[in-house]
Structure 1
Amino acid sequence: MVEEEACWLCGRPLGRRVEQHHPVPKSRGGRVTRPVHPICHRTLHATFTNKELEKAGDNPQALALNPELARFLGWVANKSPDFHAPTRRRKA
C-alpha cells in the first residue's frame, strides 16, 4: 500500500498542485524544501516574515502556536486537498 504524501503545514493529503516551501527562507540560507498546498504556502507567507520563518525553522508545530495560523489550520482541516480560496494579505 502506497502512503499518501501529506502537507508539511496542515497534514492533509496533497492534491494535484503541490508547492515547495523553504522552512528556512532561501534569503536566510535555507536549502531544504517541504511539500505544501498552495493555500498553505500563501498563508505562511502572508502571516510570517522571513525572520519569523527562520526562527521557527523546520517546525510547523511552532508556527501553529500563532493564533492567526491556528485559526487557518482549523478552518482548512476538512477541506479537500485541491481546495483554493483567496489568501488575506499580510497586515502592514
Structure 2
Amino acid sequence: MDRHHLVPKTFKGRAQFPIHKICHRKIHSVFTEKELFRTYHTWDKLRENDDIRTFIDWVARKPPEFYTTTATANSKKRK
C-alpha cells in the first residue's frame, strides 16, 4: 500500500489516502502534478478518465498481490 494525496503536496495538499501501489504508480504515470491539482483531485474525477478507467477494469481482474512496473506515458514526458 501507498498513500496518495488527491491534492499534490507541491500544491499544499495534506490529506493522504491509502491506495494500492500499482494504482498509485498508474495515476502518477498518466498525470502531471498540475493536472492532478487542476482536474483530477477527486476519486470520481480520476475514475472518469479513460486511461484510469481502463486500468481499473484491467487490474480488477488481477490477484490482490499483483504488481508490475508502470511506464511513464510519452505524452506526460513532453509536458
Q: Decide which of 24, 32, 43 is 1:49's aligned counterpart.
A: 32
Q: Structure 1-normalised TM-score?
A: 0.73
Report whether the alignment pairs 1:86 with 2:74. no
Deviations along 1:1-22, one digit per CA (max 9) or x if unpaired, are xxxxxxxxxxxxxxxxx11011
Partner residue, 1:73: 56
Report whether the alignment pairs 1:34 with 2:14. no
- Residue identity matched to 1:54: F
Runs of at least 4 residues of structure 1 off by over 6 A? none
Cα displacement (A) at 1:61:
1.6
Q: Which runs of 5+ in 2 are unaligned?
A: none
Q: Which runs of 5+ in 1 are unaligned?
A: 1-17
Matches for 1:7-26 after TM superposition, within 5 Å: 18-26=1-9
Provide the identity percentage.
Answer: 39
Give the SS at the match of 2:37.
helix
1:38 and 1:63 map into 2 onto residues whose CA distance is 16
Higher helix share: 2
Cα displacement (A) at 1:34:
0.4
* CA-atom RMSD in angstroms: 1.1
Q: Structure 2-normalised TM-score?
A: 0.84
- Residue identity matched to 1:42: R
